[in-house]
A and B are shown apart, each in its own frame.
Chain A
Amino acid sequence: MSQSISAKKLRAAYQRMLLIREFELRVERLFLAGKITGTAHLCIGQEATAVGAVMALRKSDALTSTHRGHGHFLARGGNPDRIMAELYGKRSGYSGGRGGSQFMADYRIGYLGANGITGGSLSVATGVALAARLQNRSRVTLCFFGDGASNQGVFHECLNMAALWKLPVVFLCENNGYAMSMPVARSIAGGSIARRAQAYGIAGEETDGNDLEAVWRAVTNARRRAAKGDGPTLIECHTYRYCGHSRGDPCVYRAPQEKVAWRKRDPIQRMRRILLTRGVLISGEHQRLMQETRRRVQQAVAHAEADAWPKASSLTKGVFA
């Protein structure tokens, strides 16, 4: 089946990728400047996977994210002002500053949240899919996780149950080559995460995670299978994070040439070339889009800077519903 994304959607996807890249680069600088404290895991280099996968979802669908979640949230339409405010620990942040980078969500848009525990969202996503089944809803749940999470026991527990019960869930592994410093070559027995699908009798597929259209196709097909009642799919997207695992990562575990090689496969540059070739983007337009994006991110920073701290009197409020 030949499938393609409309020019309008491709253009929007490109803009969303630019937004994620610019947002993350800015967050990195804000960390270095001491404006943001704690930790954050940036997804610079992984934008095509986030945007390609999320654009395959419907409005009524749900998704869960990982510790590296800003891109997924922005891809789903999260408000950059409120995400930035959350990173600052400010009052208008999605979690009122309580969650930080790894714990924010917007249930209204089906974004069920980042997760500070590696693999922590696998079971939650599977449970959301179980609920959709019990409630006869058409909702499909997309579960992002990393190569590291695929070694957690809960990964196998959830693939097993989702397969047994043919739950409407799409498991999407962002294989960026490293679980913090641990390379895939030394942590994934058998050499492939997608092939683990065979053990559970479900569809498994490897795809180029830096190719937005490839990711979109894979998730679109998986979504269709899930919605039809044909059960889950395990998709492994090969991608790369340019930055360290988190703030303060010296990246001593990987060779500089590796990054150079992956830069040649940069998802945004690739997308730009494709859009220019197809005439979706005209020469010089990129500059304008970049300016727009920078303005948008600057607005988010200004918003977060101006925002108030949470009220001291709220500290112990809201532990229980």
Chain B
Amino acid sequence: MKTITAAAILRETLAAELTADPTVMLMGEDIGVYGGAFGITRGLLDRFGPQRVIETPISENGVVGMAIGAAISGCRPIVEIMFADFVTLAMDPLVNQAAKLRYILGRQASCPLVVRLVAGGGRGYGPTHSQGFAAWFVHTPGLKVVAPSSIADHADLLHAAVQDPNPVVFLEHKRLYGWREPVPADRPVVGLETARTVNRGHDLTILAWSWMAVEAAIAAERLAADGITAEVIDVRCLQPLDMATINESVQQTGRVLIVDEAPRSAGIAAEIGCRVFEASHEYLEAPIRRLTAPDIPVPASPPMEQLTLPDATTIAHAAMGLMETLQ
């Protein structure tokens, strides 16, 4: 079993997709000689040439729109958005074009597009380089939204996203790029629309995704030392949601904590919490608890950023609080 970072496995996966399918192409800023701002596409221009690895000017709106035009013409474009924050400039093609093609135009239109967003805070990049916007995309019918946490999932879900005939927003957390995990060579095939149970537990369910699932797993270890067993579920696909796996867990544990590093209002944690309540309220032994960022921009100052984002310590604390709650 090899130990590998998310950055390296993403690079391997992109290379594998480019090799396996001549219609796959990459588009993005500085993805050529520079190798992408985070090095994800390093070496790919040399291996696959400028027809497959297309370095673009700084024109997110135009580039994502062009990727849609290529996708409806039989290509499978994968666009890198250097920082998820910049996808605001490409909201029109994503929301008004890509997301609607299939529902409106029917079977004649297929838009197999992957937009990779470099998302998330915790690196001191400040208010306009630390966001993810997953909730916006979840709120747009016609887009699939994926946010992997495990290193293996970075490969498996990216592969599934490229194979998917729909536009997929693929959120990569920049804190995971250097994160290392052992990855077995032969693994079962993973579908896009499934949650992943990280570890079993019977006292409460912690739902998280992307970097927050890593923090949740660390929190679960600490809780175990205090005699609390938390079942951590990596939600990983945010649209559509695998509510079956989530509700099954909540109905076993009776308590649920939902962790999201995005701002609180109208967030994904709110959506999941509401759906859990609708399906599992009679099993709940405590109120549903959310742990999110407050409704503020992400500050650049390290201690202020740390206060903003949930982490293993605040997750464990919230879990303890939830265990003390009696219905």
Contacts of B96 in A (CB 8 A): 116-117, 120
By secondary structure, the A interface counts as helix
Question: Does the CB pair B109–A130 fall under 8 Å?
Answer: no
CA gap between A130 and B56 in the complex, in Å? 12
Question: Does the CB pair B57–A157 fall under 8 Å?
Answer: yes
CA gap between A126 and B163 in the complex, in Å? 24
Question: Does the CB pair B62–A131 fall under 8 Å?
Answer: no
**In the complex, what's the smallest C-beta–C-beta distance from B241 to chain A, in angstroms?**
14
Partner of B66 from the list A103, A116, A120, A130 (CB cut-off 8 Å) is A130
Interface residues of A in 12-54 (CB under 8 A from B): none
Residue A160 at the B interface, CB < 8 A? yes
Contacts of B201 in A (CB 8 A): none
Question: Does the CB pair A135–B62 fall under 8 Å?
Answer: no
Contacts of A99 in B (CB 8 A): 104-105
Chain B residue, CB-CB nearest to A105? B105
Which of B5-13, B67-75, B119-127 interfaces with chain A? B67-75
Number of contacts between A and B (CB, 8 Å)? 128
Residue B3 at the A interface, CB < 8 A? no
Partner of B97 from the list A124, A130, A318 (CB cut-off 8 Å) is A124
**In the complex, what's the smallest C-beta–C-beta distance from B77 to chain A, in angstroms?**
8
Question: Does the CB pair A135–B73 fall under 8 Å?
Answer: yes
Residue B28 at the A interface, CB < 8 A? no
Q: Mark A45-70, 1 if CB is under 8 A from B, else 0.
A: 00000000000000000000000000
Residue A226 at the B interface, CB < 8 A? no
- With most chain A CB atoms within 10 A of its CB, the pick from B54, B100, B105, B108 is B105
Q: Mark A101-119, 1 if CB is under 8 A from B, else 0.
A: 0011111100011011100
Chain A residue, CB-CB nearest to B105? A105
CA gap between A98 and B107 in the complex, in Å? 13
Question: Does the CB pair A131–B106 fall under 8 Å?
Answer: no
Residue A321 at the B interface, CB < 8 A? yes
CA gap between A191 and B110 in the complex, in Å? 40
Residue B61 at the A interface, CB < 8 A? yes
Question: Does the CB pair B69–A123 fall under 8 Å?
Answer: yes
What count of chain B residues pass the 8 Å CB interface test?
40
Question: Does the CB pair A158–B66 fall under 8 Å?
Answer: yes
**In the complex, what's the smallest C-beta–C-beta distance from B160 to chain A, in angstroms?**
14
By secondary structure, the B interface counts as helix
Residue B149 at the A interface, CB < 8 A? no
Contacts of B107 in A (CB 8 A): 321
Chain B residue, CB-CB nearest to A133? B51
Residue A275 at the B interface, CB < 8 A? no
Question: Does the CB pair A120–B70 fall under 8 Å?
Answer: no
Partner of A157 from the list B62, B72, B106, B141 (CB cut-off 8 Å) is B62
Contacts of A103 in B (CB 8 A): 100, 104-105
Contacts of B54 in A (CB 8 A): 130
Q: Mark A294-321, 1 if CB is under 8 A from B, else 0.
A: 0000000000000000000000001111
Contacts of B56 in A (CB 8 A): 161
CA gap between A123 and B166 in the complex, in Å? 19
Residue B93 at the A interface, CB < 8 A? yes
Chain B residue, CB-CB nearest to A108? B108
Residue B64 at the A interface, CB < 8 A? yes
**In the complex, what's the smallest C-beta–C-beta distance from A234 to chain B, in angstroms?**
15
Residue B17 at the A interface, CB < 8 A? no
CA gap between A104 and B105 in the complex, in Å? 7
Partner of A124 from the list B57, B65, B74, B108 (CB cut-off 8 Å) is B65
CA gap between A132 and B92 in the complex, in Å? 23
Question: Does the CB pair B62–A130 fall under 8 Å?
Answer: no
27 contacts between A and B (CB under 8 A): A96-B106, A103-B104, A105-B109, A106-B108, A107-B72, A115-B97, A117-B92, A120-B93, A122-B62, A123-B62, A123-B65, A123-B69, A125-B69, A126-B66, A127-B70, A128-B73, A135-B73, A135-B74, A154-B62, A157-B62, A160-B57, A160-B62, A161-B56, A161-B59, A318-B106, A320-B144, A321-B107
Contacts A105-B108, A130-B66 aside, 20 further interface pairs with beta carbons under 8 A come to A95-B104, A104-B104, A107-B109, A113-B105, A115-B97, A116-B96, A120-B96, A122-B62, A122-B65, A123-B62, A123-B64, A125-B69, A126-B65, A127-B67, A128-B72, A130-B69, A130-B70, A154-B61, A319-B142, A320-B142
State the 5 A-B residue pairs at the shortest beta-carbon distance, nearest first.
A127-B69, A123-B65, A157-B62, A127-B66, A131-B73
Binding site for B on A (CB under 8 A): 95-96, 98-99, 103-108, 112-113, 115-117, 120, 122-132, 134-135, 153-154, 157-158, 160-161, 164, 318-321
